[in-house]
């Protein structure tokens, strides 16, 4: 039976982790490679890096991080943030990323998803949708949540599936950072519309939220950052909890 | 011992390279190459594959003499070869992804889209699934039945002869996820991304 995945996400800036595990025994709390290794040894089903490097001159730092991580972690590695072109995707894959997540450029240039999924295969193309509720619909935001594209999130999700995306990483901007749980309504609506797996993101504050994302939101995988980073819960604790709720996980 | 990972410019093979290097350390000479002379002189070959069946077959055919070299390696020299994901799928006679495409024909069978029961199951089949080991294969040495492996695919290999199947996995249907025919081995899952269990399989292949 296929298991639901738990994916810890690390924010990386200029090659350093900015929101990461707060363990006292870490030699270098800012080292993304070391943190990713802790997660993969601790049972994470995949690792996600979100590169939030703002300046262009430091953009290359992420390539080095991916290269080193892929030599030490033997679970899938997804990298997102600042991915603009098919060539950016190519570079990340060559450094050892298994999947690349595309956000702003998927909205701006419909060919990026189309071309890259043809060239590298759908299995490595994740479209990251940042959605914010506006009345009774959700708008797609770009540029790290700063710009409203005006696109309807549900229609956009369907379009991305048709363009060749292998997975959708859906983040509720209303819930991100609140720790009050995923936007279940949004997850459920998108998941029932598309036939590709959905990764739920934004708002996890406790283990019940992970269970809700899978059971009620119909997510194939759940992504979380802070509940793992600050030692509140370990990945294995999360898995044991989900298992006790009858959700299939890899233990 | 010389092991070649065939680099035929189809998809991302960094993870395959990393996993073999991690397991082999300095004991095995690992070559990442499309050079048919080097491949021909290898003791073992790994054939990765990402993207579509058609794009992988086309990419193999694009390198002059590569298919002949691989045919000789498995059919005449009878040396061990491991196909991963589409690398395994290409063993078939024919594949139906994008358009009908002739495969390598090493193991009789076809590659078609997974029956997802009219959308009841998501495709691609992505994530960790358990394998049912149905045959005592050398690449499963010290790997327990029901171990988890990492999958990502929408197409499956359906061999004509069930005897070549060494493991299956349960999704919308029972999917063939590992085959063995004499010196030819293949996994639909990605050992290179399947954590310690996957690395064990890599180790088993290296030590054949």
| Sequential DSSP letters for A199-245 | EEES---SHHHHHHHHHTT--SEEEESHHHHTSS--HHHHHHHHHHT
Continuous segment of H or E residues that includes residue B58: helix B53-62
B56 is catalytic: no
How far B77 CA lies from chain A's nearest CA (Å)? 32
Q: How far is CA A22 from CA A13, A25, A32, A124, A152, in A?
A: 17, 9, 13, 30, 37
The beta strands (E) that lie in B115-164 are given as 125-133, 148-153, 155-159
pLDDT in tens, B49-107: 988 899 999 999 999 999 999 999 999 999 999 999 999 999 999 999 989 999 999 99
Mean pLDDT (chain B) is 96
Per annotation, catalytic residue among B85, B125, B153, B177: B85
B190 is catalytic: yes
How far B176 CA lies from chain A's nearest CA (Å)? 14
Residue A58 pLDDT level (bands cut at 50, 70, 90): confident
DSSP class of residue A82? S
DSSP class of residue A57? G
Which pLDDT belongs to residue A28? 65
pLDDT in tens, A193-216: 999 999 999 999 999 999 999 999
Query: What residues of chain B lie within 8 A of the CB of A220, using their CB?
Result: 122, 126-127
pLDDT in tens, B114-132: 999 999 999 999 999 999 9
CA distance B6 to B31: 8
A197 has a chain B CB within 8 A of its CB: yes
Residue A26 pLDDT level (bands cut at 50, 70, 90): low
CA distance B121 to A73: 29
Domains and CATH numbers, chain A: 5-244 (3.20.20.70)
* Contact state of A45 with B128 under an 8 Å Cβ cutoff: yes
Q: Is A214 exposed, middle or buried (0-12, 13-18, 19+ CB in 10 A)?
A: buried
Q: Strand A198-201 relative to strand A167-172: parallel, antiparallel, unpaired?
A: parallel
More confident residue, A11 or B180: B180
Domain B2-206: which topology? Rossmann fold (3.40.50)
What ipTM, to 2 d.p.?
0.94
CB pairs under 8 A between A and B: 98
Q: What are phi and psi of A93, to 5 degrees?
A: -65, -40
Q: Which of A45, A123, A195 sits opposite B122 (nearest CB)?
A: A195
pLDDT in tens, B14-28: 999 999 999 998 889
| Overall pTM surpassing 0.90 (yes/no) | yes
| pLDDT at A23 exceeding the cut of 80 | no
Mean pLDDT (chain A) is 92
pLDDT in tens, A97-116: 999 999 999 999 989 999 99
Residue A22 pLDDT level (bands cut at 50, 70, 90): low
Q: State what percent of residues in chain A have pLDDT above 70.
A: 96
Q: Is A166 exposed, middle or buried (0-12, 13-18, 19+ CB in 10 A)?
A: buried
Residue A151 pLDDT level (bands cut at 50, 70, 90): very high
* Contact state of B193 with A40 under an 8 Å Cβ cutoff: no
Which pLDDT belongs to residue A109? 93
């Amino acid at each position: 039976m296929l298991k639901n995945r738990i994916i810890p996400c690390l924010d990386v800036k200029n090659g350093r982790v900015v929101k990461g595990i707060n363990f006292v025994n870490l030699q270098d709390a800012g080292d993304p490679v070391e943190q990713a290794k802790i997660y993969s040894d601790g049972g994470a089903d995949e690792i996600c890096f979100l590169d939030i490097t703002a300046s262009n001159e430091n953009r290359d730092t992420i390539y080095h991080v991916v290269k080193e991580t892929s030599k030490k972690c033997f679970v899938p590695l997804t990298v997102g943030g600042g991915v603009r072109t098919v060539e950016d995707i190519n570079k990340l894959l060559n450094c050892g990323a298994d999947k690349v997540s595309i956000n702003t450029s998927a909205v701006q240039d419909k060919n990026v998803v189309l071309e890259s999924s043809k060239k590298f295969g759908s299995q490595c193309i994740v479209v990251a949708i940042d959605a914010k509720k506006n009345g009774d619909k959700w708008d797609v935001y770009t540029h790290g949540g700063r710009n409203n594209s005006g696109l309807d999130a549900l229609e956009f999700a369907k379009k991305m599936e048709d363009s060749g995306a292998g997975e959708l990483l859906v983040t509720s901007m209303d819930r991100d950072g609140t720790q009050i749980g995923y936007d279940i309504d949004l997850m459920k609506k998108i998941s029932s519309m598309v036939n590709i797996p959905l990764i739920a993101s934004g708002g996890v504050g406790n283990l019940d939220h992970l269970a809700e994302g899978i059971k009620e939101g119909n997510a194939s995988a759940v992504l979380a950052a802070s509940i793992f980073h600050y030692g509140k819960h370990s990945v294995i604790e999360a898995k044991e909890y989900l298992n006790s709720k009858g959700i299939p996980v890899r233990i | 011992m010389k092991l070649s990972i065939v680099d035929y410019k189809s998809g991302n093979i960094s993870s395959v390279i990393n996993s073999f290097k991690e397991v082999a350390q300095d004991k095995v000479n690992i070559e990442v190459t499309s050079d048919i002379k080097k491949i021909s002189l290898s003791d073992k070959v790994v054939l990765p594959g990402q993207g579509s069946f058609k794009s992988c077959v086309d990419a193999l055919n694009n390198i002059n003499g590569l298919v002949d070299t691989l045919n000789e390696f498995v059919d005449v020299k009878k040396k061990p070869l491991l196909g991963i994901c589409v690398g395994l799928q290409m063993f078939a006679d024919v594949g139906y992804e994008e358009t009908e495409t002739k495969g390598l024909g090493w193991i009789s069978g076809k590659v078609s889209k997974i029956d997802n029961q009219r959308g009841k199951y998501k495709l691609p089949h992505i994530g960790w699934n358990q394998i049912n080991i149905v045959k005592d294969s050398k690449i499963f040495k010290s790997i327990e039945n029901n171990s988890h492996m990492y999958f990502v695919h929408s197409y499956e290999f359906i061999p004509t002869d069930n005897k070549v199947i060494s493991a299956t996995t349960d999704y919308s249907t029972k999917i063939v996820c590992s085959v063995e025919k004499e010196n030819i081995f293949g996994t639909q899952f990605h050992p290179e991304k399947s954590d310690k269990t996957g690395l064990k399989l890599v180790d088993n292949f290296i030590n054949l």
